Amino acid sequence: MTDSYDTSSGSVHEQATFWVTRLHSGDCTDQERRDFEVWLAQSEVHRVAHREVEAFWNGLSRIESLAAPQLAAARAYLRETRQSRRALSKKRLAGILSVALITGFSPLGWSWLSTDIYRTAKGESTSIQLSDGSRIDLNTDTELSIQYTWTARSVKLERGEALFSVVHNPEKPFEVIAAGGRIQDIGTRFNIYRQADRVSVTVLEGEVSVAAKQNATAQNLIPGQQISYDSTGQTSAISYPDMSIATAWQKGQLVFKGQPLNRVLEQLGRYHDASLQVPDSRLQSLKVSGVFPTNNLSLALNTIAGALPIKVTQTATTTFVIAPAD
């Protein structure tokens, strides 16, 4: 292993920073390149950290004209370090790529502290593959933002529903913020549904920690468990929902077992730009059971009408009126 830095010490991003600076130094030796390959092959965490630091390094060239003094200082420090060949302390190593950040120069900050926003329209779904191998599946009418920093991965769910399949990394925790609550990954797959009045968290695999509001005591959930909370931090008891119902949206389906009609129509409305009207309030409590497609509103409504004493009339292109059967 190279004698310029002990790559078994420091955080994984400090180690990755060392390797990126050496590989771009111009005098990296063949032995150092072999040592780097050994380090890179040791774990997926190393490979992810290297990709992130390398992307940051490449971003420096795009802001050369705007941050020339800061970048010159960082490079001068690098030259001094290479010439002296002395060991790098954690503090000195961090200084290599943080000089421009310390100055408060925001474009450089955005090269490393980035936020991406994703949205789906009604009836649309999509999948996001993150650089660390994690995946987020977005359901209909969903919006979230993803922010990565040196030390954390954070998602803010503004509205809608998403399924998170997270690659666990204790050095870079993964959390989701929704309606003031905080859901933290402990190596897992979990579903979060943010509604107007509450947030529901369902765990499929692994474990998550749920704190309903800032500084609230967190509760850990294991597979098969669900918990809900509202914007005031009021939390429900842990429940054990039917997992096939909780994840049916990934198959383009909605599954109901004895749900009131008004709740069923509310769920169907998430997937369609349509007005579903029930003038007779007595119909709203009728119970509905069955499996319905999310992409065919007319079929879903006609199927419901075939099982209940109701009729469905389409009065306009996107308006449906549900009334008692004749």
On the question of pLDDT at 11 being above 50, the answer is yes
Q: pLDDT band for position 204 (50/70/90)?
A: very high
Q: What angle do CA 230, 232, 235 make, to 5 degrees?
A: 50
247 in a structural domain: no
Residues 185 and 205 in one domain: yes
* CATH number reported for the structural domain that contains residue 296 in this entry: 3.55.50.30
Exposed e or buried b per residue across 91-123, where buried means at least 16 C-beta atoms within 10 angstroms of its C-beta = eebbbbbbbbbeeebeebeebbeeeeebebeee
Q: Percent of the chain scored above 90 by pLDDT?
A: 56
**For residue range 238-270, what is the model confidence (pLDDT) as tens digits?**
999 999 899 999 999 999 999 999 999 999 999
Residues 169 and 280 in one domain: no
Residues 217 and 299 in one domain: no
Dihedral sign computed on CA atoms, order 217, 223, 226, 230: positive
Does residue 260 contact residue 248 with C-beta atoms inside 8 Å? no
Residues 149 and 231 in one domain: yes
Residues 107 and 119 in one domain: no
Q: Percent of the chain scored above 70 by pLDDT?
A: 79
Residues 118 and 234 in one domain: yes
Q: Which two tokens stand for residue 180?
A: 């003031």
Q: What is the pLDDT of residue 103?
A: 39
Residues 66 and 130 in one domain: no
Q: Count the domains in the chain.
A: 3
Domain hosting 33: range is 12-112
258 in a structural domain: yes
**For residue range 129-183, what is the model confidence (pLDDT) as tens digits?**
987 889 999 999 999 999 877 678 899 999 999 999 999 888 788 999 999 899 9
Q: What angle do CA 50, 55, 59 make, to 5 degrees?
A: 150
Residues 147 and 232 in one domain: yes
5 in a structural domain: no
Q: Poorest-confidence range of 68-72, 278-282, 292-296?
A: 68-72
On the question of pLDDT at 8 being above 70, the answer is no
Q: pLDDT band for position 48 (50/70/90)?
A: confident
Q: What is the pLDDT of residue 83?
A: 46
Residues 119 and 108 in one domain: no
Q: pLDDT band for position 26 (50/70/90)?
A: confident
7 in a structural domain: no
Instruction: Considering only residues 104 and 5, tell me which one the structure prediction assigns the higher pLDDT.
Output: 5
Residues 57 and 154 in one domain: no
On the question of pLDDT at 30 being above 70, the answer is yes
- DSSP at 179: T
Q: What is the pLDDT of residue 172?
A: 83
Distance of CA 192 to the CA centre of its chain: 10
Block residue for tokens 């209909």? 140
User: What is the pLDDT averaged over residues 185-208?
Assistant: 93
On the question of pLDDT at 122 being above 70, the answer is yes
Residues 128 and 106 in one domain: no
Residues 238 and 304 in one domain: no
